[in-house]
Amino acid sequence: MRVLVVEDNDDLRVAVSAALRSAALAVDSVADLTTADEALFVNAYDCVVFDRMLPEGDSIDYVRDQRRVGWNVPVLFLTARDSLADRVDGFEFGGDDYVMKPFATSELTVRVLSLCRRAETTRPSILRFADLEVDCGRREVRRAGVLLTLTAKEFAVLEHLMTHPDTAVSRADLVEHCWDSMADPASNVVDVIIRRLRLKLREPELITSVRGSGYRLTAAV
């Protein structure tokens, strides 16, 4: 899942992005609405975190205008404005959640994950394929009941494959959903993660290569 963070405070933007990446999310971060608009035009996001007060003004106006033309990506507002009227405006004009500053990054991460899952309402919180189980809420993976230790990026790739079982998933698609805009689609980062996943998942192999396409999650026969 991929998230955009729009925050003009450098330290806070870095801290929020790091917290979200630790939860296996791919994160792009920008400091202003102009760059955010460009990123939203180019990329597909599962959630956007907006600081309310940005250099160009209140981000609520941007979200309100986008909602009017059918934009439906979940939005979480960050703000130091704590009046009831401000909170009501945040929800009334297109926000899906509202977090007051200062806040715990652990709480923010849980809220963002919830919004990302809301965007995929048909997807269960626990994904199962063969003897593999991925608990998206707890960020846990088990094979044949044995708990496996995966890195955030390994979890993100496996989770995406689990949502497309028996389907060829291209390297470009994995980069789009599991890496941020700094990733080089021509590099071998996907192959490295897949190789590590295969080692950790052990035999019989569940992730197979599809010549010219990418990878497929397939039950052993």
Asked whether the beta carbons of 70 and 44 are under 8 A apart, the reply is no
Mean pLDDT of 155-160: 90
Distance in angstroms (rounded) separating the CA atoms of residues 170 and 152: 20
Asked whether the beta carbons of 60 and 33 are under 8 A apart, the reply is no
> What pLDDT is stored for residue 8 in this prediction?
94
Mean pLDDT of 27-46: 91
In the predicted structure, residue 206 carries a pLDDT above the cut 70: yes
Distance in angstroms (rounded) separating the CA atoms of residues 19 and 148: 22
Residue 192, CA atoms < 13 Å, CB-side half-sphere: 8
Q: Which CATH class is domain 126-217?
A: mainly alpha
In the predicted structure, residue 196 carries a pLDDT above the cut 90: yes
Summary mean pLDDT of the chain: 86
Instruction: Show me where the domains of the chain are located.
Output: 2-118, 126-217
In the predicted structure, residue 173 carries a pLDDT above the cut 90: no
In the predicted structure, residue 121 carries a pLDDT above the cut 60: no
Asked whether the beta carbons of 116 and 44 are under 8 A apart, the reply is no
Backbone angles phi, psi at 198, to 5 degrees: -60, -40
> What pLDDT is stored for residue 142 in this prediction?
94
For the record, the structure tokens of 124 come out as 């269960």
In the predicted structure, residue 168 carries a pLDDT above the cut 60: yes
**Record: fold of 2-118:** Rossmann fold (3.40.50)
Confidence of residue 186 (pLDDT cuts 50, 70, 90): low
